[in-house]
Amino acid sequence: MFCESCLILKIGANSLIGEYLKKPAICEGDSNIMGLPKAMVILFLFALGVVFIPSLSEAKYASLVIDAETGTELYSRNADTKNYPASLTKIMTLYMVFDALDRKKWNLKTRLKVSRRASRQPQTRLGLKVGQTISVHNAILALITRSANDVATVVAENMAGTELKFAKLMTQKAKTIGMRRTIFRNASGLPNRGQVSTARDMVRLAVVIKRDFPEFYRYFKTKKFRYRGRTFRNHNMLLGRYTGTDGIKTGYTNASGYNLVASVKRNGRHLIGAVFGGKSGKRRDRHMVRLLDKSFVKAIRLAKFKPPTPMINPKYRITTIVKPPLNLGSKKENWGIQVGAYSSAKPAHAIIKLAKTHLNLTKEHALSKVERVKRPHGIIFRARVIGLEESAARDACTILINKHLPCVPVPADVEMAEVPLKN
């Protein structure tokens, strides 16, 4: 995996040293540059007074753990702080590959050609040569296990023509799946001050990639990959060591610190977490394990807790939605949220206004709807916000429930069931 620390030349020079200084420093899994020990190179360069090396002090700590089934936040700290994703970038690159496979643009046997630029990408790499080809299948495994920068460039160039164009496509796709604070400049995570993401966005990406491409997500379980006589082991040390781990990826640069996105299934719960800015790989992994352990306890506790539902009559309560016809959810914006049912219209309008404020929704985003419904026990007023996509409705309820407001995602035309309370 590539380290984002760069050797920046402070004086103009076209010598061999000048050219060398323009290259990035070593990264995870590498111990030397151009055959020279890292320490020797750094001391030599500092003696010349020509370089600046970003340190771990630049890394900003951030973390987030969610229940992947409900979207509930179980732990969050600086989750929306922009950081350098480093090789977590390759998760998005893999999303683009899986999307191409899903659309039949590529298949697993498709051969991807290696350009001169791709072959010259800095470590960590697979060691591809100009003119060689690599199958999509092997490219996926190389990205997941070796975190190969040359393979990332190969994928980008074969899909979009240039890595810059590919990065723009990555950013566009990221926005469409809800990664609102992420910008990509390359396919690998190589140093670029403009390439940023957040813990929340990376968790979102993990959720979406697992949801949209379950048949390809299994690749993230790969512990080792053998290619042309060499065996490459996955940098994600939670695999096989932390019960229930099924992916997904690590990242490291000097500027980002040690990053990790992890997916774990255990005791009927499925958690996804992200950590940015770890001080070392081992400390990052231990920290992630602690967060996941605590979050599993919290998730189980929350699963047993049933929040109170707004009552319209002591004898009745509003419960889960009636299962809709299968074709209802097919329309893009045929969903909404219900934020309660009340005995008068005034509180219904009030809670809709409060909910839309929390969700930052305007008239252009969604419509308010207070429905007057006659029931055997009297008139009720259902408070809804409609005109949302299903994913947006579910995300909205996650936010509102975390703020202790009632919310149920529901197809726009579906009734809510009412059942008598038991004595």
Instruction: Answer with the one of 257, 272, 303 that is the final residue of a domain.
Output: 303
> Which residue segment(s) compose the domain that 381 sits in?
316-420
Domain edge (last residue) among 303, 328, 357? 303
pLDDT of res. 279 = 95
| Residues 297 and 324 both lie in one domain | no
Residue 265, beta-bridge partner list = 270
Q: Are 344 and 278 within one domain? A: no
Place of tokens 């023509």: 161
Sign of CA dihedral 185, 22, 280, 147: positive
Same domain, yes or no, for 125 and 207?
A: yes
With respect to residue 294, please indicate whether it lies within any of the assigned structural domains. Answer: yes
* Cβ burial 68-96 (10 Å sphere, 16+ → b, else e): bebbbbbbbebbebbbbbbbbbbbbbbbb
Please check whether residue 20 lies inside any domain of the structure.
Answer: no
What CATH code is carried by the domain that includes residue 364? 3.30.70.1070
- The answer to whether position 142 is within a domain reads yes
Which of the listed residues 249, 281, 303 is the one where a domain comes to its end?
A: 303
Domains in the chain, number = 2
pLDDT at 6: 39
3-state SS, residue 364: coil
The sheet with strand 408-411 has its strands ordered as 367-375, 378-388, 335-342, 408-411
The bridge status of strand 36-37 relative to strand 257-266 is unpaired
Same domain, 291 and 339: no
- The predicted pLDDT at position 58 comes to 60
Q: Would 62 be classed as within a structural domain?
A: yes
Cis amide bond preceding 357, omega within 30: no
Residues 209, 121 share a domain: yes
Q: CATH no. for residue 101?
A: 3.40.710.10
Task: Concatenate the DSSP letters of all residues of 202-249 into one string.
Answer: HHHHHHHHHHH-HHHHGGGG--EEEETTEEEE-S-TTTTTSTTEEEEE
Tell me, what amino acid is at 5? S
Note whether 291 and 142 are same-domain residues. yes
Residue at 93 is within a domain: yes
How far are the Cα atoms of 356, 386, 393 from residue 363, in angstroms, in the given order? 10, 11, 16
Q: Answer yes or no: do 148 and 198 share one domain.
A: yes
Residue 317 pLDDT = 41
Task: Give me the pLDDT at residue 135, please.
Answer: 98
Is the residue at 276 inside a domain? Answer: yes
Q: Tell me how many helices (H) and strands (E) the chain has.
A: 12, 17
Give a yes or no: residue 250 inside a domain.
yes
323 and 179 in a common domain? no
- 375 and 234 in a common domain: no
Both 268 and 323 in one domain: the answer is no
pLDDT of residue 406: 83
Measuring CA to CA, how many Å separate 235 from each of 83, 222, 248, 298? 20, 10, 10, 28
Bond before 248 cis per omega within 30 degrees: yes
pLDDT at residue 377, rounded to an integer = 64
342 and 201 in a common domain: no
Along the 423 residues of the chain, how does pLDDT read in single tens digits?
Answer: 444 333 333 333 333 333 333 344 445 544 343 444 444 544 444 444 333 444 544 678 999 999 998 888 999 999 999 999 999 999 999 999 999 999 999 999 999 999 999 999 999 999 999 999 999 999 999 999 999 999 999 999 999 999 999 999 999 999 999 999 999 999 999 989 999 999 999 999 999 999 999 999 999 999 999 999 999 999 999 999 999 999 999 999 999 999 999 999 998 899 999 999 999 999 999 999 999 999 999 988 887 754 444 444 444 344 433 333 333 333 455 788 888 877 788 888 888 888 888 887 766 567 888 888 876 667 888 888 888 888 888 888 888 888 778 888 887 555 443 333 333
Is 9 contained in some domain? no
Do residues 104 and 239 both lie within one domain? yes
